[in-house]
């Protein structure tokens, strides 16, 4: 039986994956880095220590990973202050599920960005536990952030459903033993082999209901 639901943030509740891409690419060009088409896909799901190290070592930014991380987060916060890129139906979906289950948030975003989202979206009270992958050992596709979310919620990960959009996120949730509801990212859709790991695939977060989560439970029992 499902005892809790754990949301991803970027690509599920926020239309932000391309914002991350734009901010990091702009910084790379400003600092003389070697941006490539595969950089975004490589960094999707990485924790902040991982992607900032990638920006330093692979993209070639001269600043330290810590300095790169701080600059990117500040630029992301500024973008969010200008306009929070909420996906249509995201807040309503969270409220629907929060009426039935305790909710967690397991995100690759940095803690300041998670907190800014919760405040701006009016969802501070909706989540019983939130985890940034910078607070655990490894980013997605490792299961660490989902396992920590379950721990903070006080439930076993096998009794959780996860809401994910990306290939690495789906793999991470599956590796944590959670049932997976996939809402494929429109800008960076996961490949078919990743979607096959999901119990339910929805077209949009607006379709996310308790019944959809229960459908995922039914398909795996």
Summarised one tens digit per residue, pLDDT across range 153-169 is 999 999 999 999 999 99
pLDDT attached to residue 188: 85
Q: Is the pLDDT of residue 219 over 90?
A: no
**Which residues are part of the catalytic machinery?**
8, 10
Confidence label for 40 from pLDDT (cuts 50, 70 and 90): confident
Q: How confident is the model at residue 117 (pLDDT cuts 50, 70, 90)?
A: very high
What are the structural domains of the chain? 4-15+85-219 (3.40.50.1000), 17-82 (1.10.150.240)
Tell me what pLDDT residue 217 has.
Answer: 59
What does the mean pLDDT of the chain come to? 94
Q: How far apart are the first and last CA of the chain?
A: 9
Looking at per-residue pLDDT, the higher value among 118 and 218 belongs to 118
Q: Tens digits of per-residue pLDDT, 55-104?
A: 999 999 999 999 999 999 999 999 999 999 999 999 999 999 999 999 99
- Tokens, residue 181: 């509801």
Q: Quick check: 220 pLDDT over 50?
A: no
Q: Whose structure tokens read 């690419």? A: 25
**Is pLDDT at 24 greater than 70 in this prediction?**
yes
Burial 76-105 (b: 16+ CB within 10 A, else e): beebbeeeebbbeebbebbebbbeebbbbb
Question: CA 95 to CA 195: how far, in whole Å?
Answer: 25
* pTM listed for this prediction: 0.92
Q: What is the pLDDT of residue 215?
A: 82
């Amino acid at each position: 039986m499902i005892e809790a639901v754990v949301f991803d943030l970027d690509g599920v509740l926020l239309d932000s994956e391309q914002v991350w891409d734009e901010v990091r690419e702009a910084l790379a060009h400003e600092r003389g880095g070697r941006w490539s088409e595969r950089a975004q896909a490589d960094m999707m799901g990485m924790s902040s220590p991982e992607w900032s190290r990638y920006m330093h070592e692979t993209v070639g930014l001269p600043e330290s990973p810590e300095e790169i991380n701080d600059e990117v987060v500040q630029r992301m916060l500024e973008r969010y202050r200008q306009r929070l890129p909420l996906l249509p139906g995201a807040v309503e979906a969270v409220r629907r599920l929060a009426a039935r289950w305790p909710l967690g948030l397991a995100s690759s975003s940095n803690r300041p960005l998670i907190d800014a989202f919760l405040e701006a979206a009016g969802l501070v009270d909706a989540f019983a536990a939130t985890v940034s992958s910078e607070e655990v050992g490894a980013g997605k596709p490792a299961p660490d952030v989902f396992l920590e979310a379950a721990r903070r919620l006080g439930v076993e990960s096998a009794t959780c459903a996860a809401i994910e959009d990306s290939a690495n996120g789906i793999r991470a949730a599956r590796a944590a033993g959670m049932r997976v509801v996939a809402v494929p990212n429109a800008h960076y859709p996961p490949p078919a082999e990743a979607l096959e790991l999901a119990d339910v695939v929805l077209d949009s977060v607006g379709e996310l209901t308790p019944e959809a989560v229960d459908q995922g439970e039914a398909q795996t029992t």
